[in-house]
Chains A and B, each alone.
Chain A
Amino acid sequence: MSGGPLAWAGGPEPLGAETRVRSFRRFLLLYAAARSWLWVAFSLHDRELLVLAAALASAGFALCWRRDLEAWAAPLGLLGVGLQTVWRFPHGANHLYLELLALALVALAGRGARPDAALVLSGLRWLAALVLFHTGLQKLLYGNYFHGDFLAYMVGTQERFANAFGWVLPATEIARLEGYDAMRTGAGPYRVAFAPFVLASNGVWLAELGLPVLLIARRTRVWGALGGIALMASIQVAALELGFAFLFLNLLFLSLPGDWNRRLLPAFALVFLYALGAAAGWLPGRPERWQLM
């Protein structure tokens, strides 16, 4: 890899960029295949197209384990997820676009020659940093986090948020927020006079703007990744968005020493298997509520 901003996210790799990209590719194709089959399980329309997309992603995942064919894994996954993106447009969630972008980058790794893998690894680290930065910037631009309005609105309208903040906010405040009719003009104020709540609200966007800088700089990359993982974990307490969380965590793992993509792959595989089993009705649970898709 030559100089320029892409090189900022590079540097010596004790593990080898090829190993890191290979491990991430296996996670990414597992994620694409499992999510695609969950779509098949829960969609009422266009099942033939969704089955085709899921089959392409699954074939990609299978190819990840054959050194001579692994270069075709991401292009196959990209084709499957691309079909789903077009089919779902404009209702695709942001993490579907993130998945598509990650697949496009990994597809460029080809057979995993070291310079190509180093380039793709830098690209993936930049992707994580840019997405995190933009989530913070958007919160800053919309202005609904300064006084905690958005979180208060979510507490008032979403049971998950009310439960998560139940241990912080007095019950009377939660009851007040839940009492507003959010479909009526003038409803509110969705504000809470409780400093830790407002601090937490501002802490989210400040962390999202600050952590990407740490993620890119070589010396602070590990701290950026650990901060990002802590942020993801705390967000999941209220907003259960497992699909985005799994994908983003694996992007962050690329900035940690050690091959965490490989080490935790079996754990992610188990969660997906459980979700698919529950979707088929063989296991208890409601995976459609876990936002894995």
Chain B
Amino acid sequence: MNYVFSTFWSESILFTFILFATQFVPKKKEKYGILFKIFGFSLICISILILHTGANTTENFLKFLLFISAGMILVNIHQILIEDGIATQEWLILFLNILMGGLIAISSTNFLGFFIGLELQNLAFTVLSALKKDSEYSFEPSIKFFICNTLSIFFMLFGIAILYYALGTINFDLLNQKFETTSYTILGYASIAAAFCFKFGIFPFHEWMLDLYKGLDNASLLCFNTIFKVTIFAVALKLYSVIFIHIPWLQDLIIFLCIISMILSSIGGIGQSDPKRLLAYSTIGNGCFLALGIFNGMNQQNYIFYIFCYLITNMSTFFSLLFLKGNLRTGLIFTQSKLSTTFLISVLALGGIVPFPLFFAKILIFYRLIESRAYFSTFAAIISAIISMFFYLKLAKAAYTSHYEEEETIHFWKIFFPVLLAILLLFSFIWAPLLGAHLTNLLQ
């Protein structure tokens, strides 16, 4: 009983929040800012509660990550939404729905809950990404996202149905017990794997992600890159323990595809000049690197550690990009030195070079790859890391060349959050070992 309660109380509170957001919003639009902040801080409080009172399970940590990132986004995003001309109330409700979908997907114990969570996220995100009504580009990615993700979800549903036909259950634990290799189960698992590849943006199914990144407005992009991504990473973990662990050839296939997409993403990024598309390639590369780790049997605490580091780095990158309005003009270092330095630090951190948290996470994954004697994967990961470092530096370069026009500077407190994140990134050698040790203690 206790277990069920601890699993679901956070979702219940969130549901209440959504109800509140739909019913009791202030009439004056100026007061939305406070509402956003209240919601944000409450989400952060919930995340701390989850960490302290919940069971020490992987699910709870993932939920914690979702809540805390959502809270941080809500606290900081209001001004940007206003500037972008996006309807804030709708955005808030849809955003909370996306969070809800993620929570349901993470805490579900069977494929149906999984499906419901992901579908809820899909629908909410489809509308959220089309909210910027004055832009013709925002409609396009929204439709693209909808079609592609509905297709992938359809594959998943198809797989679930076949599994239910073949094994008589869709519960994860029972599926694990009853596993047998028949042509039906293989078909079911393979179609679920295809859906997973779609969601993850693994090689043959990665094109939609690039288009999505190009068209999306900044706020939706931030939402996609944090909440959505964490959900997908959580899904990967769960699917690995339910499906892929039983079917070695499927594992090998996905590892192979991951290697290809890592290298493709790094090569594809070279020719790009649009920062958003570059970041799309980077997301694919990072995600596939993580997938390599999990498919080579990396343990869960290291997996969560990677997700945490990735989340912080990504938030820092996207927040600074948000305040720069997605426009990397030359000479930013002169006009907005704090913000451009933050951006530089975050981009270098995305590349995973030394003092930044993703480096420590990278060590863990490389270690796992070497320990399981996956030398080819290691080699591919190195090559892609080197090539992708090139485009990360290219992103940074724009800000540091010397032609510039005078421009108003943003007030420091407005950009306090990305600066704080960048400082966190710089001093990761202090908190990374503590966090790692904490995770290891709790999840062993």
Chains A and B are bound partners: no
